[in-house]
Amino acid sequence: MNFRGKVALVTGASRGIGKAIARELLSNNAFVVGTSRSIEGAEEINSELSPCGGCGMVLDVSNVNSCDLLIKKLSEEKIFPDIIVNNAGITRDSLSIRMKDSDWNDVINANLSGVFYLSKRFIPHMLKSKWGRIINITSVVGSLGNIGQANYAASKAGIEAFSRVLAKEFARKGITINCVAPGFIDTDMTKSLNTNKIDALLSQIPSGRLGHVDDVAYAVSFLASSRAEYINGITLHINGGMYMN
């Protein structure tokens, strides 16, 4: 894998899976723009990425104005992403009949609408350069369902359906759009689960462990590479065998 000359945008790169993806692409010579919702987060990303070729920027994917501002700033600096990794995501769990409308909307806006806002805005550059990669981070929950995650599961399944449409629309333009669906990965998002829940999960994972952020980052890096040019519209599951399709 060598991404020399390519620019990658990784949303939600301040920690967890996004941070690992940013590091992996950077270590393979991409110029990486990593984002966070906060100025502090963006500065932290910047201090990590800039010595090796990259930068940190502020972005709230659920906010159209924030997406437009990012594009404006990138264009001013003549930075045009060839690889977009839509990784930013949130959970707001509760049983569906108790779920607040605002929790439904927050998750759909951040996880699903954000992918639409960015894809639509960055594809024109990919069309011009006749090459592009969009990799959307979904979840095993989008395929399996999970009690208490109606909003999250719907958002992730929605991204996969959206990605299949984009894959068909741009297949002849050198652009591929794929999803990577992690199972349960050891990050801040899963740290809130109690020991009983973790034990119950482990009993369903043939590998007998939670995933590592790099398990996901390596798969993203492969799908972003030229070696994956004939892979389009798929969802690659990374879950230690928890779900096999």
Cβ of residue 103: shortest distance to ligand NAP, in angstroms? Answer: 14
Considering the complex, state which of residue 131 and residue 162 has its C-beta at the smaller distance from ligand NAP: 162
Q: Which is nearer to ligand NAP, 68 or 172 (CB)?
A: 68
**Under 8 Å between Cβ of 61 and 110:** yes
Catalytic residue (one of 152, 218, 230, 243): 152
152 is an active site residue: yes
Whether the CB-CB separation of 85 and 10 falls below 8 Å is answered with: yes
Report in angstroms how near the CB of residue 172 gets to ligand NAP at its nearest. 29
The CA dihedral of 104, 139, 179, 24, to the nearest 10 degrees, is 110
Instruction: State the minimum distance, in angstroms, from the CB of residue 4 to ligand NAP.
Output: 26
Print burial letters for 183-222: b (CB count within 10 Å at least 16), e (below 16).
bbbbbebbeeeeeeeeeeeeeebeeeebbebebbbbbbbb
Q: What is the bridge-based pairing of β-strands 175-182 and 235-238?
A: parallel
Which residue's CB is nearer to ligand NAP, number 176 or number 187?
A: 187
Residues that bind ligand NAP (CB under 6 A): 11-12, 14-18, 36-38, 41, 59-62, 87-90, 110, 137, 139, 182, 184-185, 187-190
Residue numbers annotated as active site? 152
